[in-house]
Amino acid sequence: MQDQVERFLAALGGERGFSLNTVSAYRNDLGQFSLYLRDEQPVGSWGELDGERLQRYVLYLHERRYAKSTVARKVAAVKSFCHYLLEEGVLRHDPSSELPSPKVDKFIPRTITPEQVAELMEQPARSRSPEALRDKAMLETLYATGMRVSELMSLDVEDLNLTGGQLRCGRKPDRARWVPLTAEAVSALDAYLQTGRRELRSVIDEPAVFLNHRGSRLTRQGFWLILKGYAESANIGDITPHTIRHSFAAHAVTRGQELRDIQHILGHMSISTTQVYQQVAARISHQNGSAVNPVAACYDTGGAP
């Protein structure tokens, strides 16, 4: 039975192009489901799976007081796997077709204020060490583009066009996009490339933009630790790279930037994913006693994403 789970996961990563993190989440959720079946509702093969067993599994999750969002994710993983088994002919009908997903409260991203962003950027600017120049360039680039931390860490020198004030974001051919940089980001990147990176670099032909103290590509985990340290110094509290991404998008809406442009910069497949930042911007504006730009707030979301 585990072989079919592995083939399903391979299909997610290969044919469907899911990220490693997403495939890993599916692996964990289906692993828990398999253990549940083994210990609570044994089946000899996936072909014996039925709606009653699935219903009992959902009840099992609720009894263990998982958050609604967690239950929804685990149910989605089981449903996707059932669809796969149906396509492969292992199941003759889909036992998950009537399986309800718990309603999840709409997620509202956490952001920090423009003032907190400015204070965060000020932390590495207090030094001219190679690492500080790198950190300033990373933070400015992250806030200027709203890119994911994985995209930030995968940047190569050839992805930068500082003369044109833009960079290429994303590695997949169908997801790669050129996004604009702010003057602050261009300046920080230029200072880092001219001085900091040259001192950190261990080999001339190293392609990575952001390097660690050994001269190789900085990891996501390394960046998280760097960000955490600066956030503590700025008295911002516990933030993540995604907090900066959310802040970029919400602040862009507040400034009146077109939602479609923000969608492109963030790399969202659907405009509906980007629309949540209208709510965040409205909350920010309410707190500040101002109004969100009506053009952005009432943007026509019809048509293809």
Q: Could you list the active site residues?
A: 148, 172, 242, 245, 268, 277
Write down the H helix ranges in the chain.
Answer: 2-13, 20-39, 51-63, 68-87, 114-122, 130-145, 149-153, 183-191, 197-200, 220-233, 241-254, 259-266, 271-288, 294-297
Closest by CA to 18, choosing from 74, 80, 75, 72, is 80
| Structure-token pair, residue 122 | 């000020």
Report how far residue 87's alpha carbon sits from residue 301's, in angstroms, rounded to the nearest whole number: 33
Residue with tokens 């996961």: 9
Q: Which residues pair with 201 in a beta bridge?
A: none
Q: Residue 178: in which H helix or E strand, if any?
A: strand 177-180
Closest by CA to 85, choosing from 123, 128, 135, 47, is 47
285 near 291, Cβ under 8 Å?
yes
φ, ψ (nearest 5 deg) of residue 279:
-65, -40
268 near 305, Cβ under 8 Å?
yes
Residue with tokens 């192009």: 17
- How far, CA to CA in Å, does 122 sit from each of 133, 137, 188, 231, 247? 11, 12, 12, 11, 17
